């Protein structure tokens, strides 16, 4: 499982992995693009039980990375490492090194509060706050201390447009968020995450509680966003992973008493048509999971 | 054939269960209705403007109960002023900040049990701690502090309970946006939990308003010429007035005493109903 970033003497950067279309970019170009994660030898333990072991993974900026694998293989746990939400669960220990754009986010190296303004999250079930649509989207900016009405107004509009919800709610921004449908609520949650101008958005099965039409809208929204923000999405739906992601990572816990590993990661097309690992192939073709 | 019999028997059992649970519910409702109806029947005759605005005469056998109503309002408001901030903050600490250890669980259990301590014990404690040791004397503030000790466990438990009802996802949503824990609690968790906290607190305060034992030794008096004019004044109070009339006034006026009981029950009910209405208005907006 390869994901070393190599810096050649001539100043070009190569990603030692077959899945990045343009394998070579100049350093300057890469420095400009924000929102890449590098995980090396990441392990996670709940108490004494190690649930994920030895994950090496590069998450490219401004692209969609899908985490797939059977239930209980630690996809969501790995996702929560990226915005330190595991800190909030208590008794979860993360080891190894994770960096965002080259800066470590582990331990004291990064304040989780600051990290989470740069790395947003959308949850499995829509979880808008019990307040108006406007106040939901403005929550993040207000947390950052933005109080000017005009600034908030434009951030709210921009974020709702980004989440493809603006046209539906523009006349009802004062309406209570709970009056929206499930699909609209989830897009509201995406807008809420966008409002802090994050570099990365983590999505934990964002469409699993929604009907097919709402799922389609969420996928369209992701397609719109991929050029401006890095997206890491956990999904159970393999067609969804195949449709929306650029890179796919397959995780597997082979038995209940061993930790999960990252089995294979690569360009989505390759993973779904010609995976290197036999286990990936069995999972993709529906032989288990 | 046997299958049919079994289905029939299941239906009969179902009917029986409905009847038994229904009877239990009817007994409870019936008892409550009977108590209220009895108080209204006996006390309604006393209710008029003179009764609500006048001072008692002839040791309470005639006249009104105005200073008595005011005394109860004073002591209850003072109790609320002490109890609500301390109780809600303590509930927030126990629910949101306290480490999940054995000690925390033991403390929570102890607080729950405190709500079951007989009120006369709080009265004795108040006499020792506030009246004598703290030197407050028999006073409104000593009574309010005693009632605070009695009400705090109720408010703390209600707060904790209400906070526990708030989905973890909602907290995580705020934290994931870069909100600190304090901001998450202040702007998301507490507003969502407010209806539950307020309902529980009002139940606790209603009980405090109607208690005799805790104020018996700590500040309530049988008769006073004026309204309490400082926290160190003594005061008259509805439950104590009823107790004193029945136990120490020969030839006590039954209608007036029932009237006093009706005012106490009515006042507490009005506040409870107001809280319930407010909560149902909120609930219509807030569901998960």
At residue B282 the predicted structure's pLDDT band, cuts being 50, 70 and 90, is confident
Q: Which pLDDT belongs to residue B288?
A: 46
Please check whether residue A88 touches B, CB under 8 A.
Answer: yes
Q: What percent of chain B has pLDDT over 90?
A: 85
Chain B residue numbers touching A139 (CB-CB < 8 A): 174, 177, 179, 187
Report chain B's mean pLDDT, rounded to a whole number: 93
Q: What is the mean pLDDT of residues B51-60?
A: 92
Q: What is the mean pLDDT of residues A18-42?
A: 62
Q: Which pLDDT belongs to residue A3?
A: 47
**pLDDT digit string, tens, across residues B187-241:** 999 999 998 899 899 989 999 999 999 999 999 999 888 899 999 999 999 999 9
Q: Please tell me which residue, B56 or A288, carries the higher pLDDT value.
A: B56
Q: Which pLDDT belongs to residue A108?
A: 87
Long-range contacts formed by B32-37: CB under 8 A, 24+ apart? B36/B265
Residue to test with chain B: of A47, A90, A127, A194, most B Cβ within 10 A: A127
Q: What percent of chain A has pLDDT over 70?
A: 88
Decide if A129 and B170 are in contact by the 8 Å CB cutoff. Answer: yes
At residue A7 the predicted structure's pLDDT band, cuts being 50, 70 and 90, is low
Residue ranges of domains in chain A: 5-284
Q: Please tell me which residue, A57 or A284, carries the higher pLDDT value.
A: A57
Distance from CA of B211 to the nearest CA of A (A): 38
**pLDDT digit string, tens, across residues A212-256:** 999 999 999 999 999 899 999 999 888 899 999 999 999 999 888
As given in the structure block, the two tokens for residue B155 are: 């408010």
- CB burial class (10 A; 0-12, 13-18, 19+) of residue B260? buried
Chain B residue numbers touching A140 (CB-CB < 8 A): 177-178
Q: What is the mean pLDDT of residues B162-180?
A: 94
Residue B6 in this model has a pLDDT that exceeds 60: yes
Pick the range with the lowest mean pLDDT from A7-16, A201-210, B261-270. A7-16
Question: Pairing mode, if any, of strands A103-104 and A92-100?
Answer: antiparallel
Residue A177 in this model has a pLDDT that exceeds 80: yes
Q: Name every residue in B having a CB less than 8 A away from some CB of A.
A: 100, 167, 169-180, 183, 187-188, 191-192, 285-287
Q: Which pLDDT belongs to residue B1?
A: 56
Q: Which pLDDT belongs to residue A2?
A: 40
Partners of A14 in the β-ladder? A6, A24
**Alpha carbons A157 and A17: distance in angstroms, whole number:** 39
Phi then psi for A221, rounded to 5 degrees? -60, -40
Decide if A120 and B177 are in contact by the 8 Å CB cutoff. Answer: yes
Task: Tell me if B199 sits within 8 A of B155, measured CB to CB.
Answer: no
How many CA atoms within 13 Å lie on the side-chain side of A23?
12
Q: Which pLDDT belongs to residue A32?
A: 53
**pLDDT digit string, tens, across residues A47-79:** 999 999 999 999 999 999 999 999 888 999 999
Q: Which pLDDT belongs to residue A25?
A: 43
Please check whether residue A120 touches B, CB under 8 A.
Answer: yes
As given in the structure block, the two tokens for residue A102 are: 């080259």
Distance from CA of B209 to the nearest CA of A (A): 34
Residue B285 in this model has a pLDDT that exceeds 90: no
Q: List the single residue in A with minimal CA-CA distance to B184.
A: A143
Please check whether residue A129 touches B, CB under 8 A.
Answer: yes
As given in the structure block, the two tokens for residue A176 are: 């209570």
Smallest Cβ–Cβ distance between A143 and the set B183, B285, B286 belongs to B183
Q: What is the mean pLDDT of residues B254-261?
A: 95
- Cβ neighbours of residue B128 under 8 Å, at least 6 residues apart? none
Q: DSSP secondary-structure letter at A276?
A: S
Chain A residue numbers touching B286 (CB-CB < 8 A): 130, 178
Q: List the single residue in A with minimal CA-CA distance to B186.
A: A143
Decide if A127 and B172 are in contact by the 8 Å CB cutoff. Answer: yes
At residue B152 the predicted structure's pLDDT band, cuts being 50, 70 and 90, is very high
Residue ranges of domains in chain B: 68-282
At residue A21 the predicted structure's pLDDT band, cuts being 50, 70 and 90, is very low
Q: Does domain A5-284 have CATH number 3.40.50.300?
A: yes
Chain B residue numbers touching A113 (CB-CB < 8 A): 178-180
Smallest Cβ–Cβ distance between B178 and the set A90, A178, A196 belongs to A196
CATH architecture assigned to B68-282? Orthogonal Bundle (1.10)
**Alpha carbons A267 and B111: distance in angstroms, whole number:** 58
Residue A10 in this model has a pLDDT that exceeds 80: no
Smallest Cβ–Cβ distance between A120 and the set B170, B176, B180 belongs to B176
Neighbours of B269 (CB within 10 A): 12
Chain B residue numbers touching A189 (CB-CB < 8 A): 173
Residue A16 in this model has a pLDDT that exceeds 60: no
**Alpha helices, H only, A177-244:** 182-194, 212-225, 238-244
At residue B100 the predicted structure's pLDDT band, cuts being 50, 70 and 90, is confident
Positive or negative, the Cα torsion across B64, B65, B67, B70?
negative
Decide if A121 and B180 are in contact by the 8 Å CB cutoff. Answer: no
Chain B residue numbers touching A116 (CB-CB < 8 A): 175-178
Pick the range with the lowest mean pLDDT from A12-26, B96-110, B175-189. A12-26
**pLDDT digit string, tens, across residues A83-125:** 999 998 888 999 999 999 999 999 888 999 999 999 999 999 9
Question: Degrees (nearest 5) of the Cα angle A59, A64, A68?
Answer: 80
Q: Name which of A72, A182, A82 is nearest A124 in CA terms.
A: A182
Q: What is the mean pLDDT of residues A202-221?
A: 92
Its pTM surpasses 0.95: no
Distance from CA of B193 to the nearest CA of A (A): 11
Q: DSSP secondary-structure letter at A72?
A: T
Decide if B178 and A192 are in contact by the 8 Å CB cutoff. Answer: no
Smallest Cβ–Cβ distance between A176 and the set B172, B179, B285 belongs to B285
- CB burial class (10 A; 0-12, 13-18, 19+) of residue A103? exposed
């Amino acid at each position: 499982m390869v994901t070393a970033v190599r810096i050649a003497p001539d100043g070009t950067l190569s990603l030692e992995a077959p899945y990045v279309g343009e394998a070579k970019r100049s350093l300057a170009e890469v420095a400009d693009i924000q929102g890449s994660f590098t995980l090396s030898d990441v392990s996670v333990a709940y108490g004494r039980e190690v649930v994920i072991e030895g994950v090496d993974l590069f998450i490219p900026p401004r692209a969609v990375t899908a985490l797939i694998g059977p239930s209980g293989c630690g996809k969501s746990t790995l996702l929560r490492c990226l915005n330190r939400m595991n800190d909030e669960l208590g008794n979860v220990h993360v080891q190894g090194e994770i960096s965002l754009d080259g800066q470590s986010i582990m331990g004291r190296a990064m304040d989780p509060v600051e990290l989470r303004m740069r790395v947003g999250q959308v949850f499995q079930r829509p979880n808008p706050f019990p307040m108006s649509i406007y106040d939901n989207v403005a929550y993040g900016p207000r947390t950052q201390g933005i109080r000017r009405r005009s600034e908030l107004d434009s951030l709210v509009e921009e974020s709702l447009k980004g989440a493809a919800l603006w046209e539906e709610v523009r006349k009802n921004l004062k309406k209570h968020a709970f009056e929206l449908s499930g699909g609209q609520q989830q897009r509201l949650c995406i807008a809420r995450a966008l409002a802090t101008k994050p570099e990365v958005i983590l999505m934990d099965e964002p469409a699993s509680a929604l009907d097919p039409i709402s799922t389609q809208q969420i996928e369209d929204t992701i397609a719109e966003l991929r050029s401006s923000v890095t997206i890491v999405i956990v999904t159970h739906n393999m067609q969804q992973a195949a449709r929306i992601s650029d890179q796919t990572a397959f995780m597997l816990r082979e038995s209940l008493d061993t930790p999960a590993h990252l089995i294979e990661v690569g360009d989505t097309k390759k993973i779904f048509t010609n995976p290197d690992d036999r286990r990936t192939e069995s999972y993709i073709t529906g032989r288990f999971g | 054939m046997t299958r049919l019999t079994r289905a029939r028997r299941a239906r009969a059992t179902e009917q029986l269960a409905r009847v038994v649970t229904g009877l239990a519910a009817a007994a409870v409702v019936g008892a409550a209705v009977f108590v209220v109806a009895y108080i209204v029947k006996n006390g309604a005759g006393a209710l008029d403007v003179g009764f609500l605005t006048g001072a008692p005469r002839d040791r309470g056998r005639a006249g009104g109960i105005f200073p008595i109503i005011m005394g109860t309002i004073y002591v209850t408001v003072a109790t609320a002023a002490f109890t609500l901030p301390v109780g809600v903050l303590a509930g927030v600490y126990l629910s949101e900040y306290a480490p999940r250890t054995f000690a925390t669980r033991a403390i929570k259990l102890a607080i729950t049990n405190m709500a079951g301590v007989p009120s006369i014990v709080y009265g004795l404690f108040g006499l020792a701690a506030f009246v004598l040791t703290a030197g407050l004397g028999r006073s409104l503030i000593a009574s309010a502090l005693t009632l605070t000790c009695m009400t705090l466990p109720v408010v703390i438990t209600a707060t904790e309970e209400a906070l526990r009802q708030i989905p973890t996802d909602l907290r995580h949503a705020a934290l994931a946006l870069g909100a600190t824990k304090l901001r998450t609690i202040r702007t998301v968790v507490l507003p969502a939990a407010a209806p539950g906290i307020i309902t529980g607190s009002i139940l606790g305060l209603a009980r405090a308003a109607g208690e005799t034992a805790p104020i018996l030794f700590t500040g309530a008096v049988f008769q006073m010429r004026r309204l309490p004019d400082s926290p160190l004044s003594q005061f008259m109070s509805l439950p104590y007035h009823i107790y004193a009339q029945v136990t120490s006034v020969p030839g006590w006026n039954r209608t007036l005493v029932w009237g006093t009981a009706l005012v106490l029950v009515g006042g507490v009910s009005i506040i409870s109903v107001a809280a319930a209405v407010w909560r149902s208005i909120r609930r219509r907006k807030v569901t998960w």
